[in-house]
A and B are shown apart, each in its own frame.
Chain A
Amino acid sequence: MINTFAERTAHWRLGQVLQRQGALLALIALIVLGTMRYGERFATGYNLSSVAGDDAKYIFVALGMCFVIMTGGIDLSVGSVAALGGVVAIKFSDAGLVPAFAAALAAGAAVGLLNGILVARYKLAPFLVTLATLLMARGAALQLAGAKSAVASATSSFQGFANADLFGLPVAFWLALLLVVAGAIVLHYTSFGRTVLACGGNEDAAALMGLPVARTKLAVYLLSGSLAGLAGALLGSQTGSIDAAAGKGWELTAIAAVVVGGTLLTGGIGSVLGSLVGVLLLQLLFNLIVFENSRGGIQISSYWESVVRGAFLLAVVLLQVRLTRGDKAQSSA
């Protein structure tokens, strides 16, 4: 019995290593590949900077999604909430940078709170609840925008803030990095973070141990909504306007990134830093596809985006299923 045990342990560890470090290795490999193949145009400050700026908002969303998924839930409304946040920010852009972001945060938090209450207090299925709030938030966003797209006030400090340069990379990116570091610290070193993981790992046990399960679940949805709102504000600040299609598909990007980064879809195990790597990896992949296309070589259509995401998701899901099946058998020995 000791033997089969060591087997499973090694299996498990290998799986974990593959998941976490795998994404990082892939990221590094892609960067190297990109530099070798596309040379200067790829490795320039300009390209990296614009990629980083693009990534920033996805990192915000992925961070929130990571926490939600770690509790064993899911938040599909983030894309719509981002749109809502963006529209709200733009409406407030006249009043200045801080009020605009604050308003977006509030809008996102409101939706997040709704999600949190329905899931944590009334125990409705997160999937369906956030699917419904997805509809509601988008409706609200479109309603507020009124015309086809909302345009930010050109004179305020809001416009272009996110793109402003700071040590070669956009401010938005630095903010995202800061949040990620904060998130990682919270996850590892605060009881809130540990409770998040405990909820996803074994919610009944967590409750039995006296952990504040409902409160924690509420908090993660609140967090996710708030971050999504801020991400929308970032988008508005970067591009100056929010149109009807803003935020579409962001939830899938976030889920794919989080999962690729080593967080179990069923919750209980997760990595904030892994989610960061996941975003960078997937976005870099698409960046490379653009380069490949412009080289005129193989024509990889941009439709590959969703297929690639789906394939990644499939591979990771299967891997995760095998791993969780392994330990289920173990603990019921």
Chain B
Amino acid sequence: MPETTTAPSLAPPSTPTRRRTTSNGAALAQKYGAGALLVGLCVYNAVFTPNFLTAQTLLDVQLRQAAPVAIVALGMALVIAVAGIDLSVGSVMAIAGQVGALTLLSGAGPVAAIFAALLAAAVCGAFNGALIVRYSVQPIIATLILFVAGRGIAQMLTGGQLQGFSDPTFQFIGLGRFLGIPFPVVLMVVIGAVLWFVVRYTGYGRTLLATGGNESAARLSGIRVGRVKLVAYVTCSTLAGLVSLAVISITSASDANNVGLGIELDAIAAVAVSGTPLSGGRISVIGTVVGAVMLRLLQNTLIARGVSREVAQMVTGAVIVLALFLQRRTH
């Protein structure tokens, strides 16, 4: 007998019953597409781009450029895993950057600046989380608020002036090296490793996936669903804050207008491309990093071939659509 719930409805299903059998091609493309494309791009560049395989290009250029997006994408992946999304990451970066710069300028020292910036970012995350959990606002709309207002808030802090500072210790975040590897890349690897561990081995990680996978079942199993989501949003924003520190330390100036502009798109693209469904319940830490690196390499490759930056961006847009498409076919 077909399974029925307590009160079977006579109304026809709203969406046509999806084919459960996945088209294997689409499923494979989803899972390994980004990685395959990355390998393909590397091969292509190794052949056609001079000096591509040097440590300098790989580390200083490709990975370092990809690191900020990768870290933000990792935070985004957490939020997407609980069936949410965070559009405010760019604006949060602007706010955190300003707070950090102002703290430095006030002479409180780099440690205080870092702490203040991360705290500001965390508060933004808590704001998002509160709207979503407590007031049941849809994640897209809730994070839209900071998306709209965040940059303005950041600029208000300093009357729109560019905040230039100089602090060699602080500069290390963006410009320093650790064992020869640019610090942002180190951050990316460390954060990726930590997140990978958390997702796999900690109680939080598993409750995160349970909440995204079936919120009702998670709640009935005693999981504090609201808290799980709140932590995800706070973490996402805090990671964005961390990235902003790296970004502003490179230029030794905080530009609320431009820092993190458009990064939410890149982050979402990286997650989408890694095969993670945007409906929640799954996360691929490695896949997200690969996705971010791949997309950046793709853009750089196109630009190096003479394609204008704008068209390269178009390609990113097309890639997102393609990823969404593939997701639809396999779910």
Interface string of B131-143 (1 = CB under 8 A from A): 1000111101110
Please tell me the size bucket of the interface on B.
35 or more
B160 touches A310 (CB 8 A): no
A309 touches B149 (CB 8 A): yes
B159 touches A124 (CB 8 A): no
Which of B151, B317, B325 is close to A122, meaning CB atoms less than 8 Å apart? B325
A143 touches B145 (CB 8 A): no
Instruction: Say yes or no: A134-B317 contact (C-beta < 8 A), given A207-B14, A208-B12.
Output: yes
B160 touches A301 (CB 8 A): yes
For A135, A140, A141, A307, which residue has the most chain B Cβ atoms within 10 angstroms?
A: A135
- What is the bound-complex CA distance between A99 and B164, given in angstroms? 49
| Cβ distance B49 to chain A, nearest Cβ, rounded Å | 23
Which of A74, A142, A301, A307 is close to B149, meaning CB atoms less than 8 Å apart? A307
Please tell me the size bucket of the interface on A.
35 or more
- What is the bound-complex CA distance between A53 and B205, given in angstroms? 54
Does A329 belong to the interface (CB within 8 Å)?
Answer: no
Kindly report which residue of chain A lies nearest to residue B269, judged by CB atoms: A132
B268 touches A122 (CB 8 A): no
Interface string of B301-322 (1 = CB under 8 A from A): 0000000111111101110110
11 contacts between A and B (CB under 8 A): A122-B328, A131-B268, A204-B14, A252-B147, A301-B155, A301-B156, A304-B156, A305-B152, A310-B152, A317-B131, A317-B137
- Give the chain B neighbours of A306 by CB distance below 8 A: 148-152
- Give the chain B neighbours of A141 by CB distance below 8 A: 310
Instruction: Say yes or no: A307-B320 contact (C-beta < 8 A), given A128-B278, A143-B308, A256-B148.
Output: no
18 extra A-B contacts, CB within 8 A, seeds A307-B156, A310-B149? A122-B325, A128-B278, A128-B324, A129-B324, A132-B317, A132-B324, A135-B320, A139-B310, A252-B147, A301-B159, A302-B160, A303-B152, A307-B149, A309-B149, A310-B145, A317-B137, A317-B142, A317-B145
Does A325 belong to the interface (CB within 8 Å)?
Answer: yes
- What is the bound-complex CA distance between A132 and B313, given in angstroms? 9
Kindly report which residue of chain A lies nearest to residue B308, judged by CB atoms: A143
- Give the chain A neighbours of B153 by CB distance below 8 A: 307, 310
Chain B interface (Cβ < 8 Å from any Cβ of A): 11-12, 14-15, 85, 131, 135-138, 140-142, 144-153, 155-156, 159-160, 265, 268, 272, 278, 308-314, 316-318, 320-321, 324-325, 328
Does A194 belong to the interface (CB within 8 Å)?
Answer: no
| Cβ distance A69 to chain B, nearest Cβ, rounded Å | 11
Which of A127, A133, A142 is close to B308, meaning CB atoms less than 8 Å apart? A142
Instruction: Say yes or no: A204-B156 contact (C-beta < 8 A), given A122-B325, A136-B314, A140-B314.
Output: no
Helix, strand, loop or mixed for chain A's interface? helix
Helix, strand, loop or mixed for chain B's interface? helix
A313 touches B145 (CB 8 A): yes
- Give the chain B neighbours of A204 by CB distance below 8 A: 11, 14
- Give the chain B neighbours of A303 by CB distance below 8 A: 151-152, 155-156, 160
- What is the bound-complex CA distance between A138 and B131, given in angstroms? 32
Interface string of A299-333 (1 = CB under 8 A from B): 00111111111110110011001000100000000
Kindly report which residue of chain B lies nearest to residue A203, judged by CB atoms: B14
- Give the chain A neighbours of B320 by CB distance below 8 A: 128, 131-132, 135
Kindly report which residue of chain B lies nearest to residue A207, judged by CB atoms: B14
- Give the chain A neighbours of B325 by CB distance below 8 A: 122, 124
Does A265 belong to the interface (CB within 8 Å)?
Answer: yes
A133 touches B148 (CB 8 A): no
- What is the bound-complex CA distance between A60 and B15, given in angstroms? 33
Does A266 belong to the interface (CB within 8 Å)?
Answer: yes
- Give the chain B neighbours of A304 by CB distance below 8 A: 152, 156
B308 touches A321 (CB 8 A): no
- What is the bound-complex CA distance between A124 and B279, given in angstroms? 12
- What is the bound-complex CA distance between A2 and B151, given in angstroms? 48
A139 touches B311 (CB 8 A): yes
Interface string of A130-160 (1 = CB under 8 A from B): 0111111011111100000000000000000
- What is the bound-complex CA distance between A308 and B131, given in angstroms? 18
